[in-house]
Amino acid sequence: MATFGTLSDRLTETFRNLRTKGKLTPADVDGTVREIRRALLDADVALQVVKDFTGKVRERALGDEVNKALNPAQQVVQIVNEELIAILGGEQRRLEFAKTPPTVIMLAGLQGSGKTTFAGKLAKQLEGEGHTPLLVAADLQRPNAVNQLQVVAERAGATIYAPEPGNGVGDPIRVSKDGVDYARRHQHDVVIIDTAGRLGVDAELMKQASDIRKATSPDEVLFVIDAMIGQDAVNTAKAFQEGVDFTGVVLSKLDGDARGGAALSVASVTGRPIIFASTGENLEDLESFHPDRMASRILDLGDILTLIEQAQAAFDEEEALKVAEKLANETFTLEDFLDQLQQMKKMGSMKKMLGMLPGMGQMKQQLEDFDEREIDRTEAIIRSMTPGERRNPKVLNGSRRLRIAKGSGMTVTDVNQLVQRFEQAAKMMKTVARGGTPQIPGMGPMGKPGASSKRGKKGAKGKGGSRSGNPAKRAAENAGLATASSTPTGTGFGLGGRTAAPSEADLAEIQKLFGKS
């Protein structure tokens, strides 16, 4: 995640230095804690939060759980992970719905924090979960705020209640109260009230937000805060907590280049949980906040669970079974490949998905260089083919490939590379579907552990030892065979291994056998 990029790099580098040590001394722990403190302060985490965090990490790192551990460095990483989870809120907290509908959700925050966009994202997510949300336009102060919410509501497919034009006209308190009554009459089970913000915290803003809360008695008051706000996040959060007393936090703009200190400060300082994280500009870019998963991302340990959930939401299980069957029967075509590409696009940004894999922080440059439009280009090439060509790429001769290249705006080389990659991928997937192990290009066949080839068995048969009639020579050759069989001759990737030199005792024994002293 871009927001925590610098912090993640600093922490990963700190732990990399620890892994070279078999045992940690107090000096090692102090040096590690010092680097963690610098990394957190550079990330704009509040000073008090940094002090509490590093104090707990140091105390635990010097305790018995590290001293008695088989791998002290991994134990320190685990401690930092657990303490990160704690300051991020500990456990995931979901929205609490009213026993008697409608559930009223009031949004609060500064102007520009992303309240209106979040309102549309939340409405879309709730629609997908079977709810019938109503958006209430109570931000009547900011120019064109009502129009913006109308556009967002239309994109989200949600109903909007906007009786006033805004731009300084209308009473936001009356609109909010009437919006709840409208929802009750028209069977909307969730009401999302988009309130006004200011460029800074002031008395007028807090009084209006407090009056809306009193008039509507919301079940949830969500404080939307910009993750790019930096050190001022704590002061802003405290002011809203005193003025409105929110029940949960929403972090917006987590896809930006900010340092991310707000996320690590707000939950700890206010004692209120982070419920949602907004990770992009699209209405689908909204995640439920999981403290453990976010801590794993920061430490470059990956977030496989979120990746799996996104895949399950985007991919149709029945279609996946059909594809698996086609792979096994060798009937997987470019049309099926196109369908799979389109389902992948539903999951969102490929960079974001790849960034959830463990260790991808070390491949940041490769991720940055990844071109999201490559999928669109591939799709354009396939769409330029006829149905018959998609079903049977073997018919693609030179003239057909030239026509496809012109139709998709690509080159013949691009078409050739796509067909070649497709054939290789289909071959590998077919092998996997049949329960076999694929042959990865450049690495040779991946055999099962412990299995040996016929050549290996044949070679092993001739390793019964020397048949020389000279006892000294026979003993020397047998000693050499024993050394060769016990020494690895290569690695699992086909790279040559280092041959071990004979010990002094072996040399002395060989010299004795040859009658040399």
pLDDT tens for 283-337 read: 888 888 888 877 777 776 654 555 555 555 555 666 666 666 666 666 678 877 7
- List Cβ neighbours of 460 (8 Å cut-off, separation of 6 or more): 452
Confidence of residue 516 (pLDDT cuts 50, 70, 90): very low
pLDDT in the model for residue 450: 42
- Averaged pLDDT for residues 37-44: 81
pLDDT in tens, 359-379: 555 555 555 566 667 778 888
Which pLDDT value is given to residue 501? 46
Cα–Cα distance measured from residue 179 to residue 200, given in angstroms and rounded to the nearest whole number: 27
Q: pLDDT grade, residue 346 (50/70/90)?
A: low
Q: What is the pLDDT of residue 81?
A: 84
Sheet harboring 248-252: ordered strands across? 159-161, 133-137, 190-194, 103-108, 220-226, 248-252, 274-278, 286-288
The CATH topology of domain 103-289 is Rossmann fold (3.40.50)
Give the tens place of pLDDT for each residue, 124-182. 999 989 999 999 999 998 888 999 999 999 999 999 999 998 888 889 999 999 999 99
Please tell me whether 508 is known to bind a ligand: no
pLDDT of residue 318: 65
Using pLDDT thresholds of 50, 70 and 90, give the confidence band for residue 424: confident
Contact 278, 285 (CB under 8 A): yes
Q: What does pLDDT average to over the chain?
A: 75
- Please say whether the beta carbons of 214 and 239 come within 8 A: no
Contact 198, 205 (CB under 8 A): yes
Annotated binding residue 253? yes
What CA–CA distance (Å, rounded) separates 328 from 322?
A: 10
CATH code for the domain defined by 317-348+374-430: 1.10.260.30
3-state helix, strand, coil in the chain (%, to 5): 55, 10, 35
Contact 302, 358 (CB under 8 A): yes
Does 465 count as an annotated binding residue?
Answer: no
Whether residue 464 is predicted with pLDDT greater than 90 in this model: the reply is no
Share of the chain above pLDDT 70, in %: 65
* E strands in 195-339: 220-226, 248-252, 274-278, 286-288
CA–CA separation, 389 and 396 (whole Å): 7
Average pLDDT of span 254-276: 75
Torsion of CA 344, 305, 35, 258, to 10 degrees: 50
pLDDT at 430: 65
Can you count the helices (H) and strands (E) in the chain? 24, 10
- Does 194 belong to an annotated binding site? yes
Mean pLDDT of 23-48: 82
Q: Is 196 marked within a binding site?
A: yes
Across the range 36-47, mean pLDDT stands at 81
Q: In this predicted structure, which of 5-19, 32-46, 205-219 has the lowest mean pLDDT?
A: 5-19
User: Longest C-alpha distance within the chain, in Å?
Assistant: 111
Distance CA 188, CA 171 (A): 22
**Does the annotation flag 132 for ligand binding?**
no
pLDDT at residue number 161: 94
Tens-digit pLDDT profile for residues 188-240:
999 999 998 877 777 888 888 889 999 999 999 999 988 777 667 778 888 88
Residues of the chain with CATH 3.40.50.300: 103-289
* 408 vs 9, residue with greater confidence: 408
Paired residues of 193 in beta bridges: 106, 136
How many whole angstroms separate alpha carbon 397 and alpha carbon 19? Answer: 55
User: Is 198 one of the annotated binding-site residues?
Assistant: yes
pLDDT, position 480: 54
For residue 135, how far is the Cα from the chain centroid?
A: 30
Which pLDDT score, from 0 to 100, does residue 319 have? Answer: 63
Q: What is the pLDDT of residue 506?
A: 54
Residues near 388 by Cβ (< 8 Å), separated by ≥ 6? 395
- Mean pLDDT confidence for 103-129: 91
The confidence score (pLDDT) of residue 117 equals 92
Among 54, 60, 95, 62, residue whose Cα is nearest residue 78: 60
- Range(s) within the chain of domains with CATH label 1.20.120.140: 7-88
Say how far apart CA 224 and CA 275 lie, in whole Å.
10
Amino acid at 99: K
Residue 191, strand partner residues: 104, 134
- Residue 267 one-letter amino acid: A
232 is in an annotated binding site: no
* 265 Cβ neighbours under 8 A, 6+ residues apart: 44, 45, 46, 49, 233, 234, 237
Residue-wise pLDDT tens digits, 440-463? 444 444 444 444 444 444 444 444
The secondary structure element, H or E, covering residue 133 is strand 133-137
User: Residue range 331-350: average pLDDT?
Assistant: 71
For the segment 275-290, the average pLDDT, to the nearest whole number, is: 85
Structure tokens at 445: 């066949």
- The answer to whether 195 is a known ligand-binding residue is yes
Query: What is the architecture, at CATH level 2, of domain 7-88?
Result: Up-down Bundle (1.20)
Which residues, including other chains, have CB under 8 Å from residue 52's CB and lie 6 or more apart? 87, 268
Cis peptide before 102 (omega within 30 of 0): yes
- Residue 82 pLDDT more than 80? yes
Is 69 labeled as ligand-binding?
A: no
Q: Tell me, what amino acid is at 266?
A: V
Residues of the chain with CATH 1.10.260.30: 317-348+374-430
Annotated binding residue 75: no
